[in-house]
Amino acid sequence: MLAEGPARLWRAPAKVNLTLHVLGRRTDGWHELDSVVAFAGCCDWLAFEAGDGLGLTVEGPTAAAAGAVEDNLVLRAARALAELVPGLQVGRFRLLKALPVAAGLGGGSSDAAAALRALAAVNRLAADDPRLFAAAAAVGADIPVCLAPRARLMSGRGETLGPALGLPPLAAVLANPGVAVPTPRVFAELGLKPGAPTHWTRLPPLDNGCDAATAIAALKSGRNDLQASAIKVALAIAATLEALEGLKGARLARMSGAGATCFALFDDCRSAVRAAQTLRASHPNWWARATMLR
């Protein structure tokens, strides 16, 4: 738990790629993506207290896997914003790391976005201040979509954001088999040369205001084009998907991001809670959570 003190707490929710279509590889080497993202109830927590100097401490169940503190995206995002905002008030961050690391949930990116929101609040920067987006984009492709964590379409390499989608809350189970998957290796497995398109297509538009059943039916027509590549890197992903597909009431099972976390969607939260309990009983060493995607 974070220690008591005057610092304000900021949520850093898990990002889930409900779809992830790879449209090709750009001449600059980045892959052109088209992804519907939503945000889960499970999260990391970030405390921030303004003061002299910039610092970060990391604690929590997955802190050890988070890597060197000096390279943490929280500090990198804060430094990027300080370069753009003269006289930026900084301070001390404390991160409670609960989400799995290198897991396809954008945990580090969400942590960095929470840090930017905290700095914006202290420095009275508007939520739509373009310098926040610029700092986010300079540090990581997934950070911009995490600045205002709502369901939306993310495209390009992550820098092009569509308007918030009026998706209904979706009951889900998230599961990670305990393996870290390096994102560059997964993209390398696609074997696309710079400038090469794919034959894959975009997801048809999702209707705002639809119910959960309609949303799930639409998402079924989508894909995660990194899923097969990720399974080559970590075979445990295939076992995770198989376990999720076998849960009672599961309507759709798919990998999130570049893996290894996978999700299954359910009709209601009660079904998801029961399914998560079943999954934890059969795979006690996995990270598994029932949550709502919003």
Whole-angstrom distance, CA of residue 206 vs CA of residue 76: 35
Contact 187, 226 (CB under 8 A): yes
Active site residue 248: no
Contact 266, 252 (CB under 8 A): no
The two structure tokens encoding residue 3: 């220690």
CA dist 200 to 21, 71, 225, 254, Å?
Answer: 7, 35, 8, 17
Contact 24, 196 (CB under 8 A): yes
Name the catalytic one among 34, 111, 142, 225.
142
Active site residue 97: no
Handedness of CA 196, 24, 133, 137 (dihedral sign): negative
CA 195 to the chain's CA centroid:
27
Whole-angstrom distance, CA of residue 176 vs CA of residue 208: 30
Active site residues: 15, 142
